[in-house]
Structure 1
Amino acid sequence: MRPHTHRATVYDLSREILANIFIHAARLDPKWTVLRPGKSEGPFILSAVCAEWRAVATATPELWAHLEFNFALPELEKISTPLKLELVRTWLQNANGRPLGLDLAYHTPYNAEERGIDLSVNALKEVLEEFAARISVLKLKCGSNGVLGFFGQVPTGYPLLQELVIQPSADFDVFTVAPNVPLPVFPRVTRLSVSRHYGRDNLLSSGPAFVKLFQRFELPALQKLSLGLSRDFKPSVVHEPLMQICRAYASSLTGLSLAFECPTTVLADILQSTREQLVELRIVFTDEIIDALAEKTLCLPRSLASLWISVKLDACEEKRAGTSVALKSIEAIANVYGRSRDLDVFVLLKTFDDAKRYPIIGDCATFARKQGLNIGTDKHALKVPYLGGHHMAFELGFSSESRRGG
């Protein structure tokens, strides 16, 4: 076939066929939803080909309904905030009324003034106030105290929002507003993740911060709750507030993820409040909890179908102990739940090290599987051939697994 004939065939495709090809390409491209000004990616690359492709792309809302954007990328400092906002607006307006999935990040650098960074516009506020009524999935990473103070006061509310993930600043106190401001209601939110793990930087400050956060929300449809861990976590501070929060929602929860060492008394109090509706529980391993489960002084709900237990594998700790602390933990779990027919038990090895350097991971995997336990590891060890990788339970929380936010 001659080149000009081939080209004519491509350009003779109907708009409907072309749109379907674009949608298929979007599903295959892991970076499709990521907006990077100055780089031709996602639907913008289609719009840059020719007028015909631009017309088809802008008339295909499925291509624009999901967006990931970090307003604070260092390489974007020279681009003004209003211009970034214009790009975001253009993208989302092309979604033409479809429900939106947004993953947005923002923080204020400590030396923003000397670097000439424009702080006169709150980018997150601008985007959410304009599009809140259409958002179905919202993930916010915010590294600046005060930036999210507006969140619960968006005039339209969030009538379509089903999933909310918030990673606030470490010292956040941003949800405290005047007493006469009505509580925002999120009528359709079924999944909430607060301060999910983000590498080693776990962003929640204290028990009172938990309480303030939940005092600002009403979540009548909540089913799955994931609470993260703080850099400055103080068990004595957070436990009583934690019980207050979980009690308030426990009766409707089908999934609960606690990414910190929860005392047995607190966990027991929460589980007793679930009214036999809890289907999936994710907890961090402690000797106290496993002993209580073995002695049946801590009872899991009969409705529970899946139990995830996070076990830390620390290379330095392994060397100091002279024996594998992680393996001993898995042995303790196996003594209680090995070859369990009632529960799907999943052990998650959590390591910040290159797992390939530590043969003990293979030993843990072999032992766990012989005992009928599922086992996986976090993203730092995904390439280990003998151990299946898995998203960290507490990093993923109960958010939807689709990158499109569905």
Structure 2
Amino acid sequence: MDILRFLTAGSVDDGKSTLIGRLLYDSKSIMVDQLEAIERSTKNREEGQVDLALLTDGLRAEREQGITIDVAYKYFSTPKRKFIIADTPGHIQYTRNMVTGASNSDLAIILIDARHGVVEQTRRHSIIVSLLNLPHVVVAINKMDLVKYSEEVYNNIVIDYSQVAKSLGLKNVSYIPISALNGDNIVEKAETMPWYEGESLLGLLETVEVHEDINLTEGRFPVQYVIRPQTEELPDYRGYAGKIISGIYRKGDKVVVQPSGVESTISAVEVGGKEVEEAFAPQSAVLHLKDDVDISRGDILVKQDAPVQVAQEFEVVLCWMSNTPLIPRNRYLLQINSRTVRCVVKELEYKLNVNSLEKELSPVSAGLNDVVKATIKTASPIAFDSYKKLRANGGAILIDETSNVTVGACMISTEATEKPFWPEI
């Protein structure tokens, strides 16, 4: 059974937490004692309704303010698929939290209040989804019960958002009218909107194809561990363990060890402790090479017919996640997959307004939640791809050397032939 990772995003009070609570409630994924606790603390006791938002708004500050602050991860499953949900905050001051939730997601649900339509925060969240190159977007037009389930209201919002999606290049966009509070079109099709001919939200989530989003062309295998038992039974065993992040690896394939550039040939492929004919993303595997070459954690085995970029200086789009400002010439650790190197942020080209896409050129610093275009120089070469081309090998993080705290999320954008991250809208 495969797993779909998705996030919810929307303006404050658009109903993100209620939507997730409804999915959990209607799919019978809530423990009895948890449901009883929610019923005791519900805000709608007098109305006879359970406040489903409390299932995800777990922090005391969230309950007191009635908003989502941190990223809340919830898990549930149906007979068709397992799901991991990231409920992300709607406030602009929590941009970093949304980036965190989106970084490993396959799909984004963008909620729109049917009474208000496409607003500034809708555009901001859509920009971040575009930045993180999520392959699927579902636009859930919520609170349809408050506009009397109007087909005209729904159609007007679809037209407005379609323009935003087109300008940002969003892919595979679907639209669903819902009422998270009442459960309309969440798990089952709603009789209240007979004019809607599409699937329910859960039906769409169960059937969306995520395997098609896995890149099986460019072979990328970051080495996490070198296995050398050095026992009498296995005196010459040398295996390179890791997770295949893209591509397919077979015995006899020509590979290049990057960033050293040493060439070799795969002599054996193991999955689950057994030798197999091939292994593919996203499997964990052990690869064996014909030649005894110098390979260690952080190196990446690249298929010879799908070269990777190797450099010490490159451009990134960077979301800053620390209260301590980012100032050019500051030094950090950069981690991309299993490789960690020292680096310096050479310069900031511009700071991006994530509401309007306006650029502030040559900023002197970047603060918490800022998104900037920056140039990074590393102490030693790294092998990478453009984030737009291959998310799995184009994303990195910056780590504070002293505290080991993650302070920035990077999307590498250095290919000369690549279109800019930010289209004009």
Q: Same fold (TM over 0.5)?
A: no
Structure number with higher relative contact order (C-alpha < 8 Å, ≥ 6 residues apart) = 2
Q: Indicate the structure with greater helix content.
A: 1
The structure whose residues are more often strand, as a share, is: 2
Give the alignment's TM-score, normalised by structure 2: 0.28
Relative to the length of structure 1, the TM-score reads: 0.29
